[in-house]
Amino acid sequence: MTFPIHDATPIRFADPLPARSDVVVIGGGVIGVMTAWFLCKKGLTVTLCEKGRIAGEQSGRNWGWVRQQGRDPGELPIMVESLSIWKTLAAEFGEGLGFRQTGVLYLAKTDREIAGFEAWLDHARAHQLDTRLLTGAETLSMLKGAVAPWKGALYTASDARAEPWVAVPTLAAAVQGQGVTIREACAVRALDLTAGRVTGVVTELGRIACDHVVLATGAWSRLFLGRHGIQIPQLSVLASVAATEPMPEIFSGNAADDDFAFRRRADGGYSIAPGGSEHDFFLGPDALRSIRPYLPILKKDLRHARFRPLAPKGFPDAWGTPRRWSEDEATPFEATRILNPAPNLKTLGKVQDAFARAFPSLGRPKLRTAWGGMIDTLPDVVPIVDHAPIPGLTIATGMSGHGFGIGPGMGRVIADLVAGGHVGHDLSRFRFNRFTDGTKIAPGPSL
């Protein structure tokens, strides 16, 4: 299989659609796959529809970090559970997920960054994490050949890494083996509603009757919901990542400072990316309508935001993308099966330069490939995980680049939310109406 997954990637999951299913999950990323996993374990019949390919978008294009460190306090308990599930999955699938508990290092150049790390330690202690603050000397001792002037680091040895574009399809195959129907290249065009309640979905291949729908469509969620009169202030931002050629190991886990981030890969290279949450924002109509709730986070970190006036044709917030369509016509989801944006090579060039300055003995890393991904984000950088105003619809979107690591735990939570089971966590931070009920927008920690 080529990487990243794209439109020409062969279809792997082509189950015939049933006439009826208890739950239809829309979206074949890690959130959708793991939600289907846990719904199936509850004895429910589940159909998962993916307009493109399993893990074709951000679930197969992310950094591959499985981290508790730096999480928003609302996410942290779910992430602790998620790490436990990851370990169980790794024991079941062996090398197939690329899962390794090799630790996460956040590197600090300034006293202000150290202070932020110290503040987050309170959350680590509350959940009995093995997180600790390292001195500058301890930090350098962990990174072979490093010369960067880091004053210290935040380190969580139990945090992990995995190979996204391999792990998520592997998990999907296991879900399919448990009895979940999975169909790639099958866009859900609309909800089928009776008296305002979900009674099915209309796909490009026909109707499926159901009582519950889980919307886990990442960057496409706002467009789908808007078709049904539901508005959320979700935007998508471009994140650029590259894979280096094989290199000597400098650290077996994941690390980041303000200039670059890296993860050791199973192939002996590193995934590298900008470390300071540097992203490109495309200014489409939805972005302009939602700019106000994003002002707090933009003011907080404006230097890392680059604005582009036009989203590529066919993208969810492109100026020419239809916002309304009928159920018997092709939709934007069929016009663009997989978001495959060009990476920002200028940004990645800066990452290569920063890496070379930090590790001069290795020099400028040679890139094997580079790719872009569209991260679905919300103004407070935490997701919506809640029932929608339409009975029978549950929304799970806006994972804000954190979805891969938290996916298994979030899938369990969403399954119980749908089935009426015991969720086990406080989900008030992720409620649907927090952007309209007067709640002050409180962005999560930018760690």
pLDDT computed for residue 447 by the predictor: 64
> Is a pLDDT exceeding 60 seen at residue 14?
yes
Please tell me the distance from the alpha carbon of residue 378 to that of residue 265, in angstroms, as a whole number. 29
Q: What confidence tens digit (pLDDT) does each residue in 113-157 have? A: 999 999 999 999 999 999 999 999 999 999 999 998 999 999 999
| Nearest in space to 339 (alpha carbons), one of 236, 216, 244 | 236
> Is a pLDDT exceeding 60 seen at residue 2?
no
CA atoms within a 13 Å half-sphere pointing along the CA-CB vector of 122: 6
Quick one: three-class SS letters along the chain? CCCCCCCCCCCCCECCCCCECCEEEECCCHHHHHHHHHHHHCCCCEEEECCCCCCCCHHHCCCCEECCCCCCCCCHHHHHHHHHHHHHHHHHHHHHHCCECCCEEEEECCHHHHHHHHHHHHHHHHCCCCEEEEEHHHHHHHCCCCCCCCCEEEEECCCEECCHHHHHHHHHHHHHHCCCEEECCCCEEEEEEECCEEEEEEECCEEEECCEEEECCHHHHHHHHHHCCCCCCCEEEEEEEEEECCCCCCCCCEEECCCCEEEECCCCCEEEECCCCCEEEECCHHHHHCHHHHHHHHHHCHHHEEEECCCCCCCCCCCCCCCCCCCCCCCHHHHCCCCCCCCCHHHHHHHHHHHHHHCCCCCCCCEEEEEEEEEEECCCCCCEEEECCCCCEEEEECCCCCHHHHHHHHHHHHHHHHHCCCCCCCCHHHCHHHHCCCCCCCCCCCC
Q: Is 315 exposed, middle or buried (0-12, 13-18, 19+ CB in 10 A)?
A: buried
Q: What confidence tens digit (pLDDT) does each residue in 227-245 have? A: 999 999 999 899 999 999 9
> Is a pLDDT exceeding 80 seen at residue 296?
no
pLDDT computed for residue 403 by the predictor: 97
Q: 260, 273 in Cβ contact below 8 A?
A: yes
pLDDT computed for residue 79 by the predictor: 98
Check: CATH 3.50.50.60 for 23-97+162-235+279-343+371-435?
A: yes
Q: Which residue has the higher pLDDT, 446 or 173?
A: 173
> Is a pLDDT exceeding 90 seen at residue 364?
yes
Q: What confidence tens digit (pLDDT) does each residue in 42-100 have? A: 999 999 999 999 999 999 999 999 999 999 999 999 999 999 999 999 999 998 899 99
What are the structure tokens assigned to 434, written together? Answer: 């927090």
Average pLDDT, the chain: 94
Please tell me the distance from the alpha carbon of residue 219 to that of residue 339, in angstroms, as a whole number. 9
pLDDT computed for residue 16 by the predictor: 98
Other C-beta atoms lying within 10 Å of the C-beta of residue 247? 18
Q: 392, 344 in Cβ contact below 8 A?
A: no
Range with lowest mean pLDDT among 156-160, 223-227, 267-271, 274-278: 274-278
> Is a pLDDT exceeding 50 seen at residue 432?
yes
> Is a pLDDT exceeding 90 seen at residue 306?
no
Q: Record the pTM.
A: 0.96
What are the structure tokens assigned to 91, written together? Answer: 């024991």
> Is a pLDDT exceeding 90 seen at residue 269?
yes
Residues 6+ apart with CB under 8 A from 81: 409, 412, 424, 425
> Is a pLDDT exceeding 60 seen at residue 198?
yes
Q: Determine the average pLDDT of the residues in 256-285.
A: 90
Q: 94, 266 in Cβ contact below 8 A?
A: no
What ranges do the domains of the chain cover? Answer: 23-97+162-235+279-343+371-435
Please tell me the distance from the alpha carbon of residue 27 to that of residue 17, in angstroms, as a whole number. 15
Please tell me the distance from the alpha carbon of residue 145 to that of residue 302, in angstroms, as a whole number. 32
pLDDT computed for residue 1 by the predictor: 44
Helices 403-419, 30-41: crossing angle, 10 deg rounding: 40
